[in-house]
Amino acid sequence: MSLPSSSSSSSHLTRSFLLSLLFTSIVASAFSDNEEAQIHHFQQYLRIRTAHPDPDYTAAASFLLSLAHFIGLQTLTLQFAPNKPLLLLTWPGSDPSLPSILLNSHIDSVPAEPDKWIHPPFSATRDPDTGRIYARGAQDDKCIAIQYLEAIRSLKRSGFSPLRSVHISLVPDEEIGGADGFEKLAQSEEFRKLNVGLVLDEGQASPSDEFRVFYADRSPWRLFVKATGSPGHGSRMYDGTAIEKLMVCAEAIARFRDSQFDMVKAGISPASEVISINPVYMKSGTPSPSGFVMNVQPSEAEMGFDLRLPPTVDPEQLKERINKEWVPSFKNMSYTLLQKGPIKDCNGKLLITLTNESNPWWPVFEKAVISSGKKLAKPEILSSTTDARFMREMGIPTFGFSPMANTPILLHDHNEFLKDEVFVKGIKVYESIISALSSFNLASSV
Ligand X SMILES: *[C@@H]1O[C@H](CO)[C@@H](O)[C@H](O)[C@H]1NC(C)=O
- Sign of the dihedral through C-alpha 140, 152, 38, 20: negative
Residues facing residue 301 across a β-bridge:
227, 284
Q: Are 343 and 351 in contact (CB under 8 A)?
A: yes
Binder among 36, 141, 366, 420 for Zn ion (CB under 5 A): 141
CB 139, min distance to Zn ion, A = 8
Q: How many residues in total does the chain contain?
A: 446
Q: Do the annotations mark residue 95 as ligand-binding?
A: no
357 binds, among ligand X, Zn ion, none (CB under 5 to 8 A by kind): ligand X
444 binds, among ligand X, Zn ion, none (CB under 5 to 8 A by kind): none
240 binds, among ligand X, Zn ion, none (CB under 5 to 8 A by kind): ligand X
State phi, psi for 63 to the nearest 5 degrees. -65, -50
354 binds, among ligand X, Zn ion, none (CB under 5 to 8 A by kind): ligand X
Residue 25 identity: S
Q: Do the annotations mark residue 175 as ligand-binding?
A: yes
Q: Which is nearer to ligand X, 288 or 356 (CB)?
A: 356
Q: Is 354 in the site for ligand X (CB under 6 A)?
A: yes
Interacting residues with ligand X between 227 and 256 (CB under 6 A) = 240
Binder among 357, 378, 444, 445 for ligand X (CB under 6 A): 357
Q: Candidates 71-79, 168-176, 354-362, 422-430 — which segment interacts with ligand X by CB under 6 A?
A: 354-362
CB 355, min distance to ligand X, A = 8
380: three-class secondary structure by DSSP: strand
Q: Candidates 52-60, 195-203, 246-254, 401-409 — which segment interacts with Zn ion by CB under 5 A?
A: 195-203
Q: Which is nearer to ligand X, 158 or 347 (CB)?
A: 347
Closest-by-Cβ residue to Zn ion is: 140
Q: Which is nearer to ligand X, 6 or 358 (CB)?
A: 358
105: three-class secondary structure by DSSP: strand
CB proximity list for 161: less than 8 A, separation 6 or greater: 93, 94
Q: Candidates 47-55, 58-66, 198-206, 362-370 — which segment interacts with Zn ion by CB under 5 A?
A: 198-206
Between CA 195 and CA 396 the distance in angstroms is: 10
First to last CA, the chain: 30
Percent composition of the chain: helix, strand, coil (DSSP 3-state, to 5) = 35, 25, 40
Identify which of 62, 47, 217 has the alpha carbon closest to the alpha carbon of residue 133. Answer: 47
Q: Which is nearer to ligand X, 198 or 418 (CB)?
A: 198
Q: Is 299 in the site for ligand X (CB under 6 A)?
A: no
CB 272, min distance to ligand X, A = 17
CB 228, min distance to ligand X, A = 7
Active site residues: 108, 174
Q: Which is nearer to ligand X, 354 or 364 (CB)?
A: 354
Q: Candidates 215-223, 356-364, 373-381, 432-440 — which segment interacts with ligand X by CB under 6 A?
A: 356-364
141 binds, among ligand X, Zn ion, none (CB under 5 to 8 A by kind): Zn ion
SS (H, E, C) 325-346: HHCCHHHCEEEEEEECCCCECC
Q: Which is nearer to ligand X, 358 or 444 (CB)?
A: 358
Q: Are 377 and 206 in contact (CB under 8 A)?
A: yes
CB proximity list for 154: less than 8 A, separation 6 or greater: 34, 427, 431
Q: Which is nearer to ligand X, 332 or 383 (CB)?
A: 332
CA angle in degrees (0–180, nearest 5) for 177-180-184: 105
Binder among 36, 108, 140, 183 for Zn ion (CB under 5 A): 140
Using CB atoms within 10 A of its CB, is residue 244 exposed (0-12), middle (13-18) or buried (19+)? Answer: middle
Between CA 365 and CA 440 the distance in angstroms is: 10
Q: Candidates 51-59, 97-105, 212-220, 353-361 — which segment interacts with ligand X by CB under 6 A?
A: 353-361
239 binds, among ligand X, Zn ion, none (CB under 5 to 8 A by kind): none
Q: Are 94 and 166 in contact (CB under 8 A)?
A: no
393: three-class secondary structure by DSSP: helix
Q: Are 241 and 232 in contact (CB under 8 A)?
A: yes
Q: Do the annotations mark residue 113 as ligand-binding?
A: no
331 binds, among ligand X, Zn ion, none (CB under 5 to 8 A by kind): ligand X
CB atoms near residue 367 (< 10 Å): 15
Number of H helices, E strands in the chain: 11, 21
Residues of the shown chain interacting with ligand X in the complex, contacts defined by CB under 6 A: 240, 331-332, 354, 356-358
Binding site, by residue number, is 106, 140, 175, 202, 412
Residues of the shown chain interacting with Zn ion in the complex, contacts defined by CB under 5 A: 140-141, 202
Binding site for Zn(2+), by residue number, is 106, 140, 175, 202, 412
